[in-house]
Amino acid sequence: MVANKLLTLVLIRQCNRVLLGYKKKGFGVGRWNGFGGKVEQGETIQQAAARELHEECGVEAHSLEEIGLLKFEFVGDPQWLEVHVFTADTFKGEPTESEEMRPQWYNIHSIPFNDMWPDDKYWFPIFLKGAKFSGYFKFEGHNNILKTELKEVEKLHYNDYEHFKLNGIV
Ligand SMILES: Nc1nc2c([nH]c(=O)n2[C@H]2C[C@H](O)[C@@H](COP(=O)(O)OP(=O)(O)OP(=O)(O)O)O2)c(=O)[nH]1
């Protein structure tokens, strides 16, 4: 069994707006997303989230709250992605364009779902109402979702996949 690839994603939200970034290169290029990337050796997932946020848009979040756990399987790839989603409502600095991302505020009623990863339209509403979520998406290529499993949770459990497996969902 191949270990999951650990990734972070940070969504800064202030009242009616969310800070997104246009991915200029690499995985997810051309899509709007939160800020994040791979967890490196020797850092916690939360440290990685804070580091990537700063590297990609120049801001420092005061406190990051983990709100979601998303697992992605891509047909033909034995390695799953495990994305830890965080949110913050206060930060230091001014969102600034980096080599990877061009930041922009979006009103929560006009999130550009057509130009985002296709799973986002399912879990963003849970994030926007302030709840936590756990999900599994099976992709074929980068545009086509074959299987979706998503639930709102009180608390994040890192073994929700086991729950899905026990219930014959994956
Ligand atoms: N919203 C959303 N984000 C996703 C999905 N899948 C997925 O990997 N992401 C996020 C997690 C990470 O924040 C980002 C992918 O990380 P990355 O490959 O850019 O990582 P990185 O910046 O460390 O890469 P690199 O510069 O080292 O090459 O995309 C998805 O389906 N929806």
CATH number of the domain that residue 93 is part of: 3.90.79.10
In whole angstroms, give the CA distance from residue 37 to residue 103. Answer: 15
Nearest CA owner, ligand 1 atom 18: 27
Would the CB of 7 count as within 6 Å of ligand 1?
Answer: yes
The count of domains in the chain is 1
Specify the pLDDT at position 158. 67
Which residues span the domain enclosing 110?
5-166
User: So what's the pLDDT on residue 3?
Assistant: 87
Neighbour-count burial for 43-52, b at 16+ CB within 10 Å, e otherwise: eeebebbbbb
Q: What is the pLDDT of residues 111-148, one digit of tens each?
A: 999 999 999 999 999 999 999 999 999 999 999 999 99
ipTM of the predicted structure? 0.94
Low-confidence residues of the chain: pLDDT under 70: 158-170
Tell me if 32 CB under 6 Å of ligand 1. no
